[in-house]
Amino acid sequence: MAKLPTALQDKLNKRTQEAALRQLPVANSLVDFASNDYLGFSRREAIFDQTHQLLLDRNIKTNGATGSRLISGNHPLYAETENHVARFHGSETALIFNSGYDANVGFFSSVPQKGDFILYDELCHASIRDGIKMSNAKSYKFIHNDFEDLQRLIGKCVGGNAAIYVATESVFSMDGDCPNLEELAQLCEKYHAHLVIDEAHALGVFGNQGRGLVAEHRLQSKVFATIVTFGKGLGCHGAAVLCSTELQSYLINFARSFIYTTGLSPHAVANILTAYQHLESNPEALESLRNNIIHFNQQKNLLGLKPMFVHSKSAIQCAIIPGNEKVKKVANQLRESGFDVKAILSPTVPEGQERLRICLHSYNTESEISGLLQTLAQLIF
């Protein structure tokens, strides 16, 4: 094979020196505190079997979409699933993308126009930031969950015909915390700004039947677009933008990550539909998850670990342990004790904010959670 260019090899060497080189993990049999499979749907045989049966009942025996949705890939399951997703979330309509990354890149690269403004939380996901980079609009970040700072920026942008888009997440992927969405919606309404909320880590965790925080606070009419992804709480793949029919039409016509890619296979779309049906008809998984979140926070407080954790009532719990080497060492020690916990290193998070990212699930037991935290306390104190 051809030798890697020197500049690229130098970047790899720097990552190695900083103890920040990423490598693909191998499968293990450790207690899962690492995956985003909050409800255990990815491993639920009933969903697998029901998805297969749905395809048999509809006599769908194709393995792939055969093309983009605008060419030949818009099989009938798409419309049925999008209608179901929209009804479930109380949205006018929904448009399915191949992934959450595709949805965010497609939206932010195409919707805000030249002369418009995008104001985004400084901790927004990389997919949002990448979409913003591809946009012709001007963009400014505001201090995390600081609406006074956001209002200051809005004040500099109002006037003329420019549209203002405000982007945030309902549950932040690397902190697990949540903004005050009601206050944010009121602020955007006051200044006629278009609010965009990524609910990737709220679907299946918050709200009635796991509908998310936008639905829980009944803010659907005040949110311009909501992005829900299916690779976390639903345990499958894909994403959808919840929006008006006019915005859906715009995205179909101008979102390049939608237009120029092969659609999801019938099996993938059937899996999304089946997962939503299970979310509606199996409340025990959601109840178990919520009980585990409460148990985790109680045990964390009892063991004196609260100061090192970012405040969170979500399934994502983060313990700040500064330094790539130090946090990797603690994560490795936890793995040696049987717990699969991932260390999040800089530059994924800012230097000095390296952390253990602990994900809770409906299938974790209270004894596993207690054991994890007791082991962590022994390693830290």
- Of 232, 300, 342, 361, which residue is the catalytic one? 232
122: annotated active-site residue? no
68: annotated active-site residue? no
Q: Taking a C-beta distance cutoff of 8 angstroms, is the pair 241, 227 a contact? A: yes
Which has the closest alpha carbon to 275: 240, 236, 332? 236
Which has the closest alpha carbon to 320: 290, 289, 295, 357? 357
Q: Taking a C-beta distance cutoff of 8 angstroms, is the pair 236, 17 a contact? A: no
- Of 99, 170, 173, 324, which residue is the catalytic one? 173
Q: Taking a C-beta distance cutoff of 8 angstroms, is the pair 190, 154 a contact? A: no
36: annotated active-site residue? yes
Query: Hey, is 102 helix, strand or coil?
Result: helix
37: annotated active-site residue? no
- Of 32, 36, 145, 361, which residue is the catalytic one? 36
Which has the closest alpha carbon to 257: 236, 235, 238, 231? 238
Which has the closest alpha carbon to 128: 188, 190, 199, 180? 199
- Of 32, 169, 177, 354, which residue is the catalytic one? 169
271: annotated active-site residue? no
- Of 175, 198, 199, 354, which residue is the catalytic one? 198
- Of 75, 194, 201, 361, which residue is the catalytic one? 201
Q: Taking a C-beta distance cutoff of 8 angstroms, is the pair 231, 100 a contact? A: yes
Residue partners of 152: CB distance under 8 A and separation at least 6? 142
How far is the C-alpha of 77 from the C-alpha of 69, rounded, in Å? 12
74: annotated active-site residue? no
Q: Taking a C-beta distance cutoff of 8 angstroms, is the pair 279, 204 a contact? A: yes
217: annotated active-site residue? no
Read off φ and ψ for residue 117, nearest 5 degrees: -130, 140
Crossing angle for the helix pair 100-110 and 245-254, nearest 10 degrees?
Answer: 90
- Of 32, 98, 104, 125, which residue is the catalytic one? 125
Catalytic residues: 36, 125, 169, 173, 198, 201, 232
